[in-house]
Amino acid sequence: MPATIIETNTAPFKKRDLDPVTLDIIENALRNARIEMDATVFRTAMSPGIREQGDCFPLIADHKGRMIVGQFGSFITGFLNVYQGSIEDGDMIWLSDPYSCEGAISHNNDWLVLLPVFRKGRLVAWTSHFGHQTDIGGKVPGSIPTDAASIFEEGVRIPPVKIVKQGVFQKDLVDVIMHQSRMPEWCRSDLNALIASCRVAARRVNEICERFGDDVFVSTTDALLERNYRAMAHLISTSIGEAPVSFEDYLCDDGRGNGPFKIKCTMWREGGRVVLDFAGTDPQSQSSINFYLNENMFRMFFGIYMIMVFDPQILFNDGFYPLVDVRIPEGSLLKPKFPAALSQRTHALGRIFNILGGLLGQKTPEFLNAAGFSSSPHLMYSGFDRAGKWFQLFQIGFGGIPGRPLGDGPDGHSLWPNFTNVPNEFLERYFPLRIERFEALANSGGAGKHRGGNGIHMTYRFLEPGIIAIHDDRWFIPPWGVNGGVPGARARKILEKPDGTKKILPNKADNIEVENGDQLHFITWGGGGWGDPLERDPATVALEVRRGLVTRDGAKDYGVVLTKTGAIDEAATKALRDKIHAARPAGPLPVFNYGPGLAHLREHGLAETGLPAPRAPR
């Protein structure tokens, strides 16, 4: 049975006529309340992942649980479909188990708080916030093991429970959960921050209702959802054809020697709705790269991509969901069966955006983005310092953003809205390490009329013995280029000892021992290029050589030759561009440039790659 919402006032809300000014005021008040939720968390959380990087996601939903403002779509529907208990005024729900909410959150580290907002006995809205916890127990520091075979190895799983029950905070429950963490002080502070942000947003909802009335508030949320529905219906009818189109991309490996793993999606329009079918995606992994993809979350991914490409002025919310039919095969990499491990799900999560781009761009390649930021590079470093105190770092790195129709991809940037890097000064102040290098890696962005963003070369020098863990992808298969653009460079991780010896590390590995003085070269992938590199302005190429973003030899990928002083050699540049043109096959450049590895996979499949094929699930 679904959740039971207990209301002492069952009178239905009355539909009210709305003038544009009232609609605009309430819409922007809700937008501001969402921003205030983030500000509350950033000022009160302790973990760098939330406080510095912003790895947390707020939302405000209507009384039915549909997101009005937020980012990843509503978590609430999945929770309501699974939760067996009652929900009353004064309750607050806490959970982290993806299997307890239909994948609305995707691994145990994400703690989700849900607050139903009641007024005069009726539920008028929901506020909610989730954030990534640095450590929740499990087999490795950080709680996201690369080789986990089940979710039971990934730390404490919190089913939907009432952390506040009819206004009473359940301290004993919280104490039990904190006892499982290696970093209980951080986790407790972060949890309090999530709770506070939900309460702040609930106060703002109450203030809006006091000013305009409950019926006007509910009518406004209905109107905002309906407006989004109409806008997306138009985009779908004009941008997506009835003929099916397919696209596939691959995760490099699973951290246990198996891979690559295929994700495939086919899209078509049918009766005014768009169908997105993941048939052909590989079976679930025996390791932790599975991504339990909630259908509503993917609907939001699709909607955000459509809106940002075709009409960024649209307020994205859950209103358009009835227009999107998502089909995900059971037992696949994107809908694994319990108790499949999920801790490395970010690689598949990020790759979903590349697949959406490949699908939507086939009809309108002029709007197509290249591939990039299709992973989420993590570094964990932990141990005991000289005073015997435990330290533990969780950090998310950034790669190159893909080249785009409107210009170059940013270097070493996050694709997730509102994400920032952890400042190097913060890292050096709170952890026993020193940042020896932090720079964009020249030539790692794919060449194109619009260059792919360069990856980052970050060098850590460890000042205390400890263990590190690395989570990354795109180290076998590069991000592809489009419309003549070149793929970006692949990721690399190199451990250098004080005597200068170097060891190439896997991009998915736990429990790597490091000593005082060891250096880790943490190199991320570049974004794919957009458009013919020979159409790039030579003056721009020369400027980027001076800035260290492209080398002199790398300039030749654009057909640009520079003199010893850095000036453009006009005659040599023309000759080189003519030579490159003459060597190309006749006809237009391909829409997609996958690079040799991915091109081979797409043409011949896994059997001829020399890499083990994924094993069937147990």
pLDDT confidence of residue 527: 96
Which pLDDT band holds residue 310 (cuts at 50, 70, 90)? low
Question: Rounded to whole angstroms, how far apart are CA atoms 54 and 124?
Answer: 28
Residue 617: which pLDDT band, with cuts at 50, 70 and 90?
very low
Tell me what pLDDT residue 366 has.
Answer: 85
Helix-helix angle 184-212:214-239, to 10 degrees = 110
Helix (H) or strand (E) holding 69: strand 67-69
Close Cβ partners of 548 (under 8 Å, ≥ 6 residues apart): 439, 440, 442
| Three-state secondary-structure class, residue 92 | strand
**What tokens were used for 107?**
């691994």
* Selection from 415, 430, 392 nearest residue 524 by Cα: 415
Q: Which of 70-84, 181-195, 313-327 has the highest mean pLDDT?
A: 181-195
Highest mean pLDDT among 48-57, 195-204, 316-325, 588-597: 195-204
Contact 351, 374 (CB under 8 A): yes
- pLDDT tens per residue across span 441-482: 999 999 999 999 999 999 999 999 999 999 999 999 999 999
- The burial class, CB within 10 Å (0-12 / 13-18 / 19+), for 159 is middle
Nearest to residue 462, comparing CAs of 407, 571, 566, 381? 381
Of the pLDDT bands very low, low, confident and very high (cuts 50, 70, 90), residue 602 is low
- Percent of the chain whose predicted confidence (pLDDT) is above 90: 80
- Which pLDDT does position 533 carry in this prediction? 97
Whether the pLDDT of residue 601 is over 70: the answer is: no
Q: Which two tokens stand for residue 539?
A: 């003056």
- Cβ neighbours of residue 313 closer than 8 Å, sequence gap 6 or more: none
Instruction: Determine the Cα–Cα distance for residues 302 and 471; give it in Å rounded to an integer.
Output: 26
pLDDT interval class at 71 (50, 70, 90): confident
Inter-residue contact 130 to 37 (CB < 8 Å)? no
**Range of lowest pLDDT (22-36, 64-78, 523-537, 575-589):** 64-78
Q: Kindly report, residue by residue over 261-309, the tens digit of the pLDDT.
A: 999 999 999 999 999 999 999 999 999 999 999 998 899 888 887 777 6
277 near 265, Cβ under 8 Å? Answer: yes
Residues of the chain with pLDDT > 70, as a percent, come to 95
Cα separation values, 379 from 66, 128, 247, 493, 524, Å: 35, 28, 30, 11, 12
Q: Mean of the pLDDT values across residues 213-233?
A: 95
Residue with tokens 């290029």: 529
Given the structure tokens 């709305």, which residue do they identify? 18
- CA distance to 226, 241, 273, 408, per residue, from 25 (Å): 17, 37, 31, 36
pLDDT at residue 209 tops 60: yes
pTM score over 0.75: yes
- Helix H or strand E segment including 320: none
**pLDDT higher than 80, residue 102:** yes
Q: Mean pLDDT over residues 18-37, rounded?
A: 96
- At 201, give phi and psi (nearest 5°): -65, -35
Average pLDDT taken over every residue of the chain = 92
The model's pLDDT over 360-388, given as tens digits with 9 standing for 90+, comes to 888 788 888 999 877 789 999 999 999 99
- Size of the chain, expressed as the number of residues it contains: 618
H or E, element range at 33: helix 20-44
Note the pLDDT of residue 239.
83
pLDDT greater at residue 317 or residue 210: 210
Helix-helix angle 346-360:295-310, to 10 degrees: 50
Is the per-residue pLDDT at 2 higher than 90? no
pLDDT digits (tens, 9 = 90+) for 329-350: 999 999 999 999 999 999 999 8
How high is the pLDDT of residue 375? 73
Lowest mean pLDDT among 109-123, 445-459, 595-609: 595-609
Q: How much is the pLDDT for 248?
A: 94
User: How much is the pLDDT for 612?
Assistant: 36
Alpha-carbon Rg for the chain in angstroms:
25
Gap between the Cα atoms of 30 and 225, Å rounded: 13
- Give residue 599's pLDDT: 67
Q: H-type helices in 411-491, by residue range?
A: 424-430
Instruction: For residues 339 and 12, give the distance between their C-alpha atoms in angstroms, rounded to a whole number.
Output: 41
Residue 502 β-bridge partners? 496
Instruction: Round to whole Å and give the CA distance between 151 and 338.
Output: 8
How many angstroms separate the CA atoms of 375 and 398, rounded? 9
* Start-end of H helices in 312-404: 346-360
Maximum separation of any 2 CA atoms in the chain, in Å: 83
Q: Is 593's pLDDT higher than 80?
A: yes
Dihedral angle over CA of 106, 112, 117, 118, nearest 10: 90
Reported confidence tier of residue 189, pLDDT bands at 50, 70, 90? very high
- Going by pLDDT thresholds of 50, 70 and 90, the confidence category of residue 187 is very high
pLDDT at position 417: 64
